[in-house]
Amino acid sequence: MKHRIHHESTAPGFQIAPMIDVTFVIMLFFMVMAGALKVERELSIQPPRSCDSANTVTFPAEEITISIENDGTVTMNEEVFDSPQDKKLPMLTRTLQRVAISSARQQQKVLVTLQAEEQACYERIIDVLNSLHKAAITNVTFVVGQERL
């Protein structure tokens, strides 16, 4: 008697074991990363209260724009000060000192916007900052390369 051997062709089916392995690896990754999270701390901050602010009068801060051109010309509120070669800027320094004293008497802040052209010399910007330092003005904002209105 002849025996016939049948080879059944089995199509590869869905394998569950590799899927379980992948699931465990992903779960292990998230468990390890959960321990590395930083906990945020709460800061106890008291918001400002409105006490007697309706009775006090506050003046707006005095705003000054100092411009530095490419050739070294320094202007304050569109008025030219000193020559481009003068490193000490005596006229600008005296004017800034008078503004600082006047603002202190009126209990106002002095806000200075230092507006330099893109090709302005850094040394000239330092000269203007030295004048601001001599006048004890500390609220300075820098703007580079914008057109003036």
CATH classification at residue 89: 3.30.420.270
Task: Kindly state whether residue 28 falls inside one of the protein's structural domains.
Answer: no
| Global confidence as pTM | 0.58
Task: Kindly state whether residue 99 falls inside one of the protein's structural domains.
Answer: yes
Task: Kindly state whether residue 112 falls inside one of the protein's structural domains.
Answer: yes
Look at 8-22, 34-48, 69-83, 90-104 and tell me which has the smallest mean pLDDT: 34-48
Report the pLDDT averaged over residues 63-75. Answer: 92
Compare 9 and 98 and report the one with higher pLDDT: 98
Report the pLDDT averaged over residues 102-125. Answer: 89
Q: What percent of the chain has pLDDT over 70?
A: 78
Task: Kindly state whether residue 113 falls inside one of the protein's structural domains.
Answer: yes
Look up the domain containing 91 and give its range: 62-144
Q: Is the pLDDT of residue 68 over 70?
A: yes
Task: Kindly state whether residue 44 falls inside one of the protein's structural domains.
Answer: no
Report the pLDDT averaged over residues 93-115. Answer: 90
Look at 97-111, 113-127, 135-149 and tell me which has the smallest mean pLDDT: 135-149
pLDDT in tens, 10-36: 667 778 888 999 999 999 998 888 877
Output the average pLDDT for the chain: 82
pLDDT (0 to 100) of residue 112: 92
141-146 contacts: CB < 8 A, separation 24 or more? 141/111, 141/112, 141/113, 141/114, 142/113, 142/114, 142/116, 143/113, 143/114, 143/115, 143/116, 144/115, 144/116, 144/117, 144/118, 145/116, 145/117, 145/118, 146/115
pLDDT (0 to 100) of residue 149: 47
Model confidence at 62, pLDDT cuts 50, 70, 90, reads confident
Task: Kindly state whether residue 76 falls inside one of the protein's structural domains.
Answer: yes
Task: Kindly state whether residue 88 falls inside one of the protein's structural domains.
Answer: yes
Model confidence at 7, pLDDT cuts 50, 70, 90, reads low
Task: Kindly state whether residue 136 falls inside one of the protein's structural domains.
Answer: yes
CA distance 89 to 93: 6
Number of structural domains (the chain) is: 1
